[in-house]
């Protein structure tokens, strides 16, 4: 407001001029749209966010699957209202059931949502929907509204950027992922997805059937990446509306044979990891175990665990504290003391005390800090820097300054509990995988599932994976997904 006073121009007039200059023509509707972000900036957001997203969630290491998804995505993008964008399609290595788009033409499916698909037409519908968010510039609208309200892209967090910088999503990338579309945006993207997929020859009636899946799922909580329901608020009667539009499209194209391509999708889904991959860390009997990196550490009793490619976070149930484990980027000859000194010398950091300590049989360093966060508050930090198996680990306990004494013992116990993992059973653990089975006459999903009381998947989850009643007779030759346990 001070700038308006100095210029002698009313805030209302400046805002009106600002809005007028910032409205552009929407590529889909042709109407005027609020956009404080240019197409060049939109592309830059996507380019900057993509490596951050890959660092956080990773991509499925299956070149054939990635090529398959990219081929279908590029076909749909070429039909869309913005074929000139440098579109990029990636399957992320996370069990969360979601698909999302980032400005500039970056489209992502998770292996979690891919495993719940039964045919290629369902994939085309979901991908077309996400392409619609980009072509209609929905993220740009949301970001522009935030800028207009002065909200920026910041996210309030107890986790100080000084200590999370080594292992979590950068501010812009995370903000874009956590944007929530409006129901009008969702409705428009549903329509665009149906339009794009039907133009590409896919059966549009498969979309409403797939959307029924989300009516049976609950919203996920506490995940770094939210599920579809959390990030895509469903318009009322979504299933009914998409079903009606699909029927209209098919009537207008009477005689045209639309493709479903169930077998093609099943071939690509066969063998993908289902659920969390224990090779990359899991919790058992109060311990976080990481077979690939061969370490373990204790989880404070009752604390929640979030595990991504770049950071493991233990969260106190009431949000009062957190412990983060990250890898320090390798630098030749760097010691724990040198890493601690680099942290100490950063702006906004006050070093309280520190000392050398033995952790996991190595000379480590533990320091206590006071750090100014992005909101102007003070975060109390106890951080350890531990060399182990050619890596340097940072274990940081963070809380408010007033609560430090409450959580200090939990921080110390977790730091001192970092140690070697040597149990052969744990080191040999393997992930569960989806396997596609061919049914015989008289088979049911239950009869061929192989699910036992000790299985990590229930028959209800498997039923949802296939969208089949577990006891309904299957046609001879029907292809269904089962989950085979790792060994």
pLDDT of 365-422, one tens digit each? 999 999 887 667 788 999 999 999 989 999 999 999 999 999 999 999 999 999 999 9
- Cα separation, 24 vs 202, in Å, equals 32
Q: Which CATH number does 278-427 carry?
A: 3.40.1000.10
CB within 8 Å of 240: residues ≥ 6 apart:
208
Alpha helices (H) along 200-253? 205-215, 228-231, 238-252
- Count CB neighbours of 63 within 10 A: 8
pLDDT at 156 over 50: no
Residue 109 bridge partners (DSSP): 91, 99
| Structure confidence at residue 322 as a pLDDT band (50, 70, 90) | very high
Burial (Cβ within 10 Å: 0-12, 13-18, ≥19) of residue 23: middle
Mean pLDDT, to the nearest integer, of 264-276? Answer: 96
pLDDT at 103 over 50: yes
Q: What pLDDT, on the 0 to 100 scale, is given for residue 334? A: 84
Between 156 and 338, name the one with better pLDDT: 338
Can you tell me which residue has the tokens 């972000």?
37
For the chain, the structural domain boundaries read 35-269, 278-427, 433-484
DSSP 403: G
- Count CB neighbours of 453 within 10 A: 4
Q: What pLDDT, on the 0 to 100 scale, is given for residue 10? A: 34
pTM of the model: 0.83
């Amino acid at each position: 407001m001070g700038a308006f006073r100095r210029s002698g121009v009313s805030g209302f007039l400046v805002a009106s001029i600002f809005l007028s200059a910032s409205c552009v023509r929407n590529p889909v509707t042709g109407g005027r749209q609020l956009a404080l972000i240019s197409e060049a900036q939109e592309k830059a957001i996507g380019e900057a966010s993509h490596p951050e997203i890959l660092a956080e969630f990773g991509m499925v290491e299956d070149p054939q699957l990635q090529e398959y998804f990219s081929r279908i995505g590029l076909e749909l993008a070429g039909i869309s209202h913005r074929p000139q964008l440098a579109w990029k399609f990636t399957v992320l290595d996370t069990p969360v059931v979601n698909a999302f788009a980032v400005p500039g033409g970056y489209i992502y499916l998770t292996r979690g949502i891919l495993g719940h698909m039964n045919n290629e037409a369902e994939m085309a519908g979901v991908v077309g929907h996400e392409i619609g968010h980009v072509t209609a510039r929905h993220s740009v609208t949301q970001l522009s509204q935030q800028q207009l309200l002065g909200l920026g892209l910041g996210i309030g967090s107890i986790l100080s950027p000084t200590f999370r910088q080594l292992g979590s999503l950068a501010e812009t990338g995370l903000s874009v992922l956590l944007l929530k579309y409006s129901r009008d945006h969702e409705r428009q993207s549903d329509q665009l997805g149906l339009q794009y997929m039907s133009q590409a020859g896919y059966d549009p009636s498969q979309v409403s059937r797939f959307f029924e899946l989300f009516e049976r799922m609950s919203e996920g909580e506490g995940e770094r990446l939210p599920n579809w329901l959390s990030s895509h608020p469903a318009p009322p009667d979504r299933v009914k509306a998409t079903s009606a539009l699909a029927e209209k499209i098919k009537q207008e194209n009477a005689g045209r044979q639309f493709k479903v391509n169930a077998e093609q999708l099943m071939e690509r889904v066969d063998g993908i990891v289902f659920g969390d991959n224990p090779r990359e860390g899991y919790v058992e009997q109060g311990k976080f175990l990481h077979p690939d990196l061969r370490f373990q550490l204790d989880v404070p009793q009752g604390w929640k665990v979030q595990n991504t490619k770049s950071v493991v976070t233990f969260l106190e149930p009431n949000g009062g504290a957190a412990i983060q484990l990250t890898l320090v980027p390798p630098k030749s000859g760097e010691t724990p003391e040198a890493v601690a000194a680099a942290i100490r010398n950063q702006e906004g950091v006050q070093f309280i005390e520190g000392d050398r300590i033995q952790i996991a049989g190595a000379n480590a360093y533990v320091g206590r800090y006071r750090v100014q966060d992005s909101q102007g508050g003070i975060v109390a930090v106890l951080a350890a820097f531990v060399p182990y198996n050619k890596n340097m680990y940072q274990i940081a306990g963070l809380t408010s300054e007033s609560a430090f004494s409450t959580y200090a013992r939990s921080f110390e116990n977790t730091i001192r509990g970092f140690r070697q993992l040597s149990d052969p059973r744990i080191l040999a653990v393997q992930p569960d995988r989806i396997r596609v089975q061919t049914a015989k006459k008289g088979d049911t999903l239950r009869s061929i599932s192989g699910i036992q009381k000790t299985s990590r998947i229930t028959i209800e989850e498997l039923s949802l994976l296939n969208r089949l009643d577990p006891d309904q007779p299957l046609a001879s030759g029907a292809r269904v997904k089962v989950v085979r346990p790792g060994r």
